[in-house]
Structure 1
Amino acid sequence: MSAQAGRQPDAEVHPGSAVHLGNPVTVDRYTAGARINHWITASCLVLLALSGLALFHPSLFFLTGLFGGGETTRILHPWIGVVLFVSFIGLFVRFWHLNLWRGADTTWIARLRKVLGNRDHEDPELVEIGKYNAGQKIVFWGMSILIIVLIASGFVIWDQYFSQYTNITQKRVAVLVHAIAAIIIICVWIVHVYAAIWVRGTIGAMTRGQVTGGWAWRHHRKWLKDLVTGRPSS
């Protein structure tokens, strides 16, 4: 049997989440649609990083071999960027309201040393976390801003379709902005992947869609309580 969460405006829950009794207790964290959306976005990010680095510096030009050569890489890179943007819009629509900043997030950041030292369970306030902790929210909003910067600057330097709308100075600025944003988003992506590996059981949430009740209680206790009670916990 399962306990389905009631959809409340301020709840740290999401449609499709449910708690299933058993041994062990399992909790639905992501729907199949959300997982597909996530992996399309992740795949695009990897492809863009590889193709972008290939075009960034001559020493990395060998990476164009992964895409069929330099000309093909130059053609594919912006189109993959468009797919990334559209895919991320799907993620944004799904999860933006779950990533709004709350008082508990400020506390989480202030006591980050305990979190990194794996001692957050010693502090009751650090375990009362909704579906996403402050670190995950920073990654979400960071990705959102950076993807907008990348798509906007990318259009400015996409000469095949937009050369007549911009001048040389604008293109030079856009190239610099695009490169800086790309480096930052690669770093954010690395942190995101590392954190997913570091917190045991996290990757399973995005591959199978479920976590154990113990995992939810250990890392996102408020979210679990909201699921069980069907209303936001105080």
Structure 2
Amino acid sequence: MTTDSNIPTRRRVIHDGNPVMVDRYSGLARLNHWVTAAGLILLALSGLALFHPSLYFLTGLFGGGTFARFIHPWIGVVTFVSFAGLFLRFWRLNLWSKADSRWLGSPGAVLSGDEEALPEVGKYNAGQKVYFWVMSILILILFLTGSVIWMEYFAAYFTIEQRRIAVLIHSISAIGAICAWIVHVYAAIWVRGTLNAMTRGQVTGGWAWRHHRKWLRDLVSGNPNKR
């Protein structure tokens, strides 16, 4: 049992109590997540402000259009580096499995919350894995296309046609990332108890058993590669 006093503190991830609490994210992982989340929000606001004249009023949040244009790419760099930290931390846990295909193939059970009709999942279910890989691809595209249209530093390396194509791809990818982020936030609110994982770093044992049963089994068995 992971709460046994003979097990080193770093291995104690399940804590007795009422309710039983299970460690899900470390403090550094949560900090990494919230820096990335803040960066994405700021990028969305500043990017939309520069995207269309009707949204230009959003530049007021950044002290005006000039500063919004200046700070937007730098926020992008910080967000990309922060997300890279999340990617390196969690990519192995987001590799696809046959169980994920079965989970994704049961939309009725997923939407109704009938967890008993779904296969047991590890730390992340198929929906979370899809979000992880979609955002990984989109953020990489945004970073690359954003570099192409960053006039202050890279204007001399690309033609006007290349920059126009980059602007189009950048805009489409940004809209896709915003939509994916909205779904991610909605899902976190919809599944009660999920936000505690990224605010306090812990979930209840009941939450872990219901939503990520295989992950909980791996924790109880002391398998460090499944955390």
The TM-score bracket by the shorter chain reads: over 0.9
| Superposed CA offset, 1:64-110 (max 9, x none) | 00000000000000000000000001000110000000111001011
Identity of aligned residues (%): 65
Q: Does 1:213 align with 2:208?
A: no
**What is residue 182 of structure 1 aligned with on the other side?**
174
| Superposed CA offset, 1:153-185 (max 9, x none) | 000000100001000000000000000000000
Q: Does 1:172 align with 2:164?
A: yes
Q: 2:36 aligns with which of 18, 23, 41?
A: 41
Q: Which stretch of structure 1 is more off in the superposition, 70-79 or 112-121? A: 112-121
Cα distance in 2 between the residues matched to 1:168 and 1:17: 57
**What is residue 84 of structure 2 aligned with on the other side?**
89
Q: Tell me the secondary structure at the aligned position of residue 132 of structure 1.
A: coil
Structure 1 residues 156 and 230: CA distance shift in structure 2, 3 A: same
**What is residue 109 of structure 2 aligned with on the other side?**
114
Q: 2:122 aligns with which of 127, 130, 151?
A: 130
1:1-234 matches, within 5 Å, as 2-3=2-3, 18-121=13-116, 123=117, 126-231=118-223
Give the conservation status (yes or no) of the 8 Å contact 2:102–2:119.
Answer: no
- Tell me by how many angstroms 1:120 deviates: 2.4
Give the conservation status (yes or no) of the 8 Å contact 2:49–2:58.
Answer: yes
**What is residue 9 of structure 1 aligned with on the other side?**
none
By relative contact order (CA 8 Å, sep 6+), the higher-ranking structure is 1
- Tell me by how many angstroms 1:118 deviates: 1.6
Letter in 2 for 1:24: P
Q: How many residues align?
A: 220
| Superposed CA offset, 1:19-77 (max 9, x none) | 11222110000000000000000000000000000000000000000000000000000
Give the conservation status (yes or no) of the 8 Å contact 2:2–2:13.
Answer: yes
Cα distance in 2 between the residues matched to 1:89 and 1:16: 26
Q: Tell me the secondary structure at the aligned position of residue 211 of structure 1.
A: strand
> Which runs of 5 or more structure 1 residues have no equivalent in the other structure?
5-14
Give the structure-2-normalised TM-score. Answer: 0.93
- Tell me by how many angstroms 1:119 deviates: 1.7
- Tell me by how many angstroms 1:128 deviates: 1.1
Post-superposition, which runs of at least 4 consecutive aligned residues in structure 1 deviate over 2 A? 1-4
> Which runs of 5 or more structure 2 residues have no equivalent in the other structure?
5-9
Give the conservation status (yes or no) of the 8 Å contact 2:99–2:121.
Answer: yes
Give the conservation status (yes or no) of the 8 Å contact 2:2–2:222.
Answer: no
Cα distance in 1 between the residues matched to 2:183 and 2:125: 14
Give the structure-1-normalised TM-score. Answer: 0.91
Cα distance in 1 between the residues matched to 2:221 and 2:126: 23
Give the conservation status (yes or no) of the 8 Å contact 2:115–2:210.
Answer: no
